[in-house]
């Protein structure tokens, strides 16, 4: 008994269904031609098709001509893909000339054969090693382990940057997905055979309209030739890139340029790991602290108080590119960005404010101590919490409440700071403590994160140092909120990143195709 084909059992029904589904589509070809003839539009359609086909053919012919011109001028295949490093010595440049000769001799077919790629790389490494150590029998082993490890770090960093910048979707494809595709090879080959059969059926059926079939056949031949030229070109360039990159790494390894002393090894490893043309990895940026609250609550006074505390070792520089934002740098502390958000006036602004605050790493919420209308503040904070709960992987940044206008609490005429708020012994201190407890209960903010302050006059500010102390004590949570915010932003831009990668890859190919011969 003949064993059943497991691939047919899995894919046979699907392939058969797709084949039957194509029958109505294929039937439209003769009926469409008949309808065009009945309407008197067939000649017009054939003319338009001929013009478009001629344009496509002309573009394809021109591209082939450009490639041939570049090949004859020695710019398409023989030109180096990358230049030598500026700090290379004459000996290094001589080794690079050897690498260039090997790159020019590399066969394009090596890219489709792993063994040939490894053999080509091995030959390149041996040639460079013999250049630097001609007297050694085993010149290929003329390096130290620290040099090899540092070289691995540098090459990995360069490869990672190239993949992230020029390989569409590289940051989204997992190794498990690649292995899954590898396992589907038999099914892909079977599908390709079926597609070939259906393609032949399609070519046969379309000869019902001979003119259309002839144009289509010519177009296919032209496109196949054009793609063949482009494919050959890319293979040749790919083979050259392979040899050049292997040769560059070998020069770095055998020239001794990676040999550094213990005092500078870590610094140079971090700096050189980027390689030529690779910028340093972007930092996470400073922590964003947003100032929020109702209109006329004292937000601007808080910003001015923080910016004006220069006598305490605070420096501030306005960020002109972002109106309402400032850089705060306190002695002994990291740099912070202070962002003044629009004042909250009514419920219609809550949604926009909540969305704005999701881009913060810490919040200074200003509430007037002498006003009891805190419902709008509660709704805004609730909206912020709900918005962040709907963002997987995000946390609520630390929210610090600054109680402004405490000098207006009863008794209004009394103002003689400092006040003991742990054990209030004066009427003003008691009133301030009560206001803090009320705000804590109304908004769900711990007392430790509520700071009463007077901010309206810079010459009489009170508790600004306390605001700084509480703010800096929450930096650990702010750092975590910043990291999660940036991670989510990176995930949200995956497809935009794929577009940038595809655009860069296409620009690289286009620049090589359209480069003017010398």
Averaged pLDDT, 325-350: 87
239-273, pLDDT tens digit by residue?
888 888 888 888 888 877 665 433 344 444 445 44
Phi and psi, residue 134, nearest 5°: -65, -20
Are the C-beta atoms of residues 427 and 471 closer than 8 Å to each other? no
The domain boundary residue, chosen from 210, 245, 272: 272
| 398: nearest Cα among 454, 335, 322, 467 | 467
Q: From the CB of residue 251, how many other CB atoms can be counted at a distance below 10 Å? A: 23
Indicate if the pLDDT at residue 104 is higher than 80: yes
256: left (phi over 0), alpha (psi -120 to 50) or beta: left
> Stretch 105-130: mean pLDDT, rounded?
85
> Cα separation of 210 and 231, whole Å?
31
480 pLDDT higher than 70: yes
pLDDT, residue 312, reads: 33
Reported pTM: 0.49
| Residue where a domain stops, chosen among 240, 272, 304 | 272
Mean pLDDT calculated for residue range 435-444:
94
For range 112-137, the mean pLDDT: 85
Q: Is residue 277 part of a domain?
A: no
CATH of the domain at 449: 3.40.50.300
Q: Is residue 505 part of a domain?
A: no
CA neighbours within 13 Å on the CB side: how many for 110? 23
Is residue 333 domain-shared with residue 393, that is, in the same domain? yes
At residue 307, the pLDDT reads 83
What is the rounded CA–CA span in Å between residue 406 and residue 429?
10
Q: Are residues 182 and 247 in the same domain?
A: yes
Predicted pLDDT of residue 409:
92
Per-chain mean pLDDT for the chain:
75
Q: In a 10 Å sphere around its CB, with 0-12 CB exposed, 13-18 middle and 19+ buried, how is residue 2 labelled?
A: exposed
Domain assignment present for 216: yes
Same domain, 147 and 106: yes
* 484 in any annotated domain: yes
245 and 336 both lie in a single domain: no
Classify residue 281: in a domain, yes or no. Answer: no
- pLDDT confidence of 139, banded at 50, 70, 90? confident
Q: Does residue 252 share a domain with residue 301? A: no
Phi-psi region of 235 (alpha: psi -120 to 50; beta: other; left: phi over 0): alpha
φ, ψ for residue 367 (rounded to 5)?
A: -130, 125
Q: What is the mean pLDDT of residues 57-77?
A: 62
Same domain, 99 and 164: yes
β-pair partners for 326? 318, 338
Q: Which of 292, 480, 476, 473 is nearest to 395 (CA)?
A: 480
| pLDDT score, position 274 | 45
Same domain? For 456 and 418 the reply is yes
**Confidence class for position 75, pLDDT limits 50, 70, 90:** very low
Q: What is the pLDDT of residues 7-16, one digit of tens each?
A: 555 555 666 6
Rounded CA separation 273/283 (Å): 16
- Cβ atoms within 10 A of the Cβ of 84, count? 18
Asked, for residue 282, whether it belongs to a domain, the answer is: no
One domain, residues 182 and 297: no
- Provide the domain limits for residue 223: 6-272
Tell me, what's the pLDDT at 192?
64
Indicate whether 275 pLDDT > 50. Answer: no
In contact, 17 and 198? CB cutoff 8 Å: no
Higher pLDDT residue, 290 or 253? 290
- C-alpha–C-alpha distance, residues 343 and 268, integer Å: 49
Is there a domain that residue 514 lies in? no
Q: Are 208 and 30 in contact (CB under 8 A)?
A: yes
Residues 314 and 448 in one domain: yes
Q: Please tell me the total count of domains within the chain.
A: 2
Same domain, 307 and 432: yes
Residues 6+ apart with CB under 8 A from 255: 89, 91, 92, 95, 132
| Position 267 in a domain | yes
* DSSP code per residue over 149-213: HHHHHHHHHHHHHHHHHHSTTTTT--HHHHHHHHHTHHHHHHHHHHHHHHHHHHHHHGGGSHHHH
- 481 touches 395 (CB < 8 A): yes
Instruction: Identify the band that residue 313 occupies on the pLDDT scale cut at 50, 70 and 90.
Output: very low
Both 239 and 351 in one domain: the answer is: no
Specify the pLDDT at position 280.
45
Label residue 1 by pLDDT band (50, 70, 90). very low
Q: Are residues 118 and 253 in the same domain?
A: yes
């Amino acid at each position: 008994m003949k064993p059943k084909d497991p691939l047919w059992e899995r894919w046979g029904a699907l392939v058969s269904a797709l084949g039957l589904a194509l029958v109505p589509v294929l039937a439209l070809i003769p009926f469409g031609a008949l309808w065009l003839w009945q309407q008197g539009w067939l000649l017009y359609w054939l003319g338009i098709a001929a013009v478009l086909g001629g344009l496509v053919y002309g573009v394809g012919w021109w591209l082939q001509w450009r490639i041939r011109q570049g090949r004859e001028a020695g710019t398409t295949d023989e030109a180096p893909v990358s230049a030598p490093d500026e700090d290379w010595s004459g000996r290094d440049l001589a080794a690079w000339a050897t690498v260039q000769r090997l790159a020019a001799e590399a066969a394009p077919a090596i890219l489709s054969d792993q063994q040939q790629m490894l053999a080509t790389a091995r030959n390149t490494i041996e040639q460079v090693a013999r250049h630097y150590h001609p007297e050694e029998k085993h010149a290929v082993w003329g390096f130290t382990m620290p040099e090899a490890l540092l070289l691995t770090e540098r090459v990995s960093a360069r490869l990672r940057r190239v993949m992230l910048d020029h390989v569409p979707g590289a940051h989204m494809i997992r190794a498990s997905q690649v292995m899954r595709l590898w396992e589907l090879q038999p099914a892909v080959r079977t599908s390709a055979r079926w597609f070939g059969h259906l393609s032949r059926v399609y070519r046969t059926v379309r000869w019902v309209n001979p003119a259309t079939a002839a144009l289509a056949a010519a177009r296919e031949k032209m496109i196949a030739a054009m793609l063949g030229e482009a494919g050959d070109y890319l293979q040749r360039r790919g083979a050259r890139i392979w040899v050049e990159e292997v040769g560059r790494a070998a020069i770095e390894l055998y020239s001794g340029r990676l040999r550094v002393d213990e005092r500078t090894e870590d610094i140079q490893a971090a700096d050189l790991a980027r390689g030529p043309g690779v910028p340093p990895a972007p930092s996470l940026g400073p922590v964003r602290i947003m100032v929020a609250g109702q209109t006329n609550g004292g937000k601007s006074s808080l910003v001015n108080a923080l910016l004006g505390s220069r006598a305490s070792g605070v420096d501030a520089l306005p960020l002109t590119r972002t109106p309402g934002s400032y850089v705060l740098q306190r002695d002994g502390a990291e740099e912070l960005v202070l962002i003044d958000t629009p004042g909250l006036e009514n419920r219609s602004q809550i949604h926009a404010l909540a969305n704005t605050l999701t881009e913060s790493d810490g919040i200074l919420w200003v509430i007037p101590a002498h006003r009891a209308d805190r419902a709008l503040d509660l709704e805004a904070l609730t909206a912020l919490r709900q918005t962040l709960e709907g963002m997987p992987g995000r946390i609520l940044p630390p929210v610090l409440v600054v109680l402004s206008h405490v000098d207006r609490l009863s008794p209004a005429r009394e103002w003689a700071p400092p006040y003991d708020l742990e054990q209030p012994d004066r009427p003003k201190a008691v009133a301030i403590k009560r206001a803090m407890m009320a705000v804590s209960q109304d908004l769900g903010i711990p007392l430790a994160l509520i700071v009463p302050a007077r901010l309206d006059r810079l010459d009489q500010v009170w508790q600004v140092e306390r605001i700084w102390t509480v703010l800096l004590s929450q930096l650990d949570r702010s750092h975590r909120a910043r990291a999660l915010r940036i991670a989510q932003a990176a995930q949200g831009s995956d497809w935009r990143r794929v577009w940038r990668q595809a655009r860069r890859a296409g620009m690289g190919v286009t620049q090589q195709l359209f480069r003017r011969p010398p």
